[in-house]
Structure 1
């Protein structure tokens, strides 16, 4: 008989919570807030900066908890851990480059100095999709089949 076995309940919980946070914020809240009555571009951008800043901090906590668990379990060189490196690199890129650049653009809009057009939002969305796919692939790797 085959059954699914969870290698690490903590990691499986964290990875799927992380996916849920990103999907709820990046793929729902980000555009829905602009549908609310009375929300101006400046107000929406201000809300977005606050929410995405908080999401980034939560994601960093999730990433660190996964890394600490992987290191403490001495599973750094596993296939699953190697898969996790892509979402971690994306999070790092978002934290040090994309989010600060998007915040600066939002600040300019809020000061009535619209910046030149940019593909930063497209890069961010593509990065989010790739990150979620990588996290999902990592989460699936935390399950394995066992024959009894």
Structure 2
């Protein structure tokens, strides 16, 4: 019986990526505002820092997955669409959503008027879809462990 894991770095990276997103996007993002003494400006400053670092960590984990799959002879099969979805969403967050949210946060911090926006809703929806896709992808990775 072969018990070797075919894509160990990819499997570990998928679960780390999912855990980071769940912990930060679904817990830290709103909990920091409940802490005593955390004003809107301080919370937004913390959020900008944390989400920009999270974004960089996500890219490292995404590249680790891709490198592990390709270096061990993995093929990016049609069923791996559930890897491409998070990569597309991460790209949208990196180049559109996070910069736009950073601008809005800075405007709040500077006490400038900020018009209503759906950007946070888009970000939350993207995070939910990203987590769902990563979980489905992780199941597929385990299926590809079969000899």
TM-score with structure 1 setting the length:
0.90
The structure richer in strand per residue is 1
Q: Which runs of 4+ in 1 moved over 6 A?
A: none
**What is the CA-CA distance between 1:69 and the residue it aligns to?**
1.7
Are residue 88 (structure 1) and residue 70 (structure 2) matched?
Answer: no
Return the alpha-carbon distance in structure 1 between the equivalents of residues 10 and 76 of structure 2.
16
Change (3 A) 1:109 1:25: same
SS at 1:142's partner residue?
helix
1:110 corresponding residue in structure 2? 109
Q: Cα offset for 1:75? A: 2.4
Q: What is the root-mean-square deviation of aligned Cα atoms in Å?
A: 1.9
Equivalent residue, structure 2, for 1:141? 140
| Structure 1 segment 1-148 matched on structure 2, within 5 A | 6-144=5-143, 146=146
Q: How many residues align?
A: 145
The Cα of 1:146 is off from its aligned counterpart by 4.7
Q: Structure 2: how far apart are the matches of 1:15 and 1:146? A: 18
**Aligned partners of 1:84, 1:71: CA distance in 2, in Å?**
13
CA distance in 2, matches of 1:44, 1:98: 18
CA distance in 2, matches of 1:121, 1:34: 15
Q: Is the 8 A contact 2:7 2:72 kept in 1?
A: no
Relative contact order, CA 8 A, sep 6+: which one is greater? Answer: 1
TM-score (norm: length of structure 2):
0.91
